[in-house]
Amino acid sequence: MAVLNEHFFVSKQAMTEALAELLQTELQAATAEGNEAVLMVSGGSSPKAAYEYLSGVDLAWDKITVAMVDERWVDANHDKSNEAFIKATLLQNKAQHARFVTMKNSAQTAQAGQVECEAAYQTLQKPFAVSILGMGPDGHTASLFPHADGLAHALTTADLTAAINAIESEVTGKITERMTLSLAGIAAAKQVVLLISGEDKRAVYEQAKQAGDVADMPLRAVLQHPDINLTVFWAP
């Protein structure tokens, strides 16, 4: 099982403040001796305000690399691009001096682009300082979607990244082809923070903690991983 540290906040605001403080503390510590630090980021509504706050914090941003936890296989200017979201929220103000490593490249498909993406991710300083994950109502995290094409590989490969083709649903929307950190890529962080918003998703999280098929709720693979140091932040 992962080393699990759960925090249930009374409000989104309280969660945002705690997340911003955690990121600030971890990035300060990671860069204190002039070392490089990597922050892995997800899209989603839960981390948005913390990203905006963090962008204005005085950190050694020139020592920090921001990279994506997962991405739809769309151009970086697409309105569904997680990269576009990160550039608009986090990589502003002081944080514009951070280096950014994209998951997306010019290959036609995520599958075809995985080798190039993996090569880029292999250059990143490990362990990653912090990786921020979200969770969907279907129990997906990163782009580890239930029963997706490529899920079994993403859960077992030693590569940091994996191509995924999700089963189309209300959660995935039309764009199902994605690149994601593999389970090994998620486990490559010193600390993983999982953000969960709302009562419905709290029930999903509690269900994921119960024994069951990982393919039904891929978050289970993270919760069950012996080497993951997982901090869970929930807010209503």
Q: Which C-beta is closer to ligand 6PG: that of 131 or that of 197?
A: 197
Q: Which C-beta is closer to ligand 6PG: that of 61 or that of 73?
A: 73
Contact between 83 and ligand 6PG per CB under 6 A: no
Contact between 165 and ligand 6PG per CB under 6 A: no
The answer to whether 122 touches 160, Cβ cutoff 8 Å, is yes
Residues 29-45 as b/e (b if ≥16 CB within 10 A, e otherwise) read ebbeeeeebbbbbbbbe
Q: Which C-beta is closer to ligand 6PG: that of 34 or that of 174?
A: 174
Name the one range near ligand 6PG by CB under 6 A: 11-19, 38-46, 216-224, 228-236.
38-46
Contact between 136 and ligand 6PG per CB under 6 A: yes
Cis peptide before 218 (omega within 30 of 0): no
* Binding positions for ligand 6PG, 112-131, rule CB under 6 A: none
3-state secondary structure of 45: coil
Residues that bind ligand 6PG (CB under 6 A): 42-46, 70, 82, 134-136, 195, 197
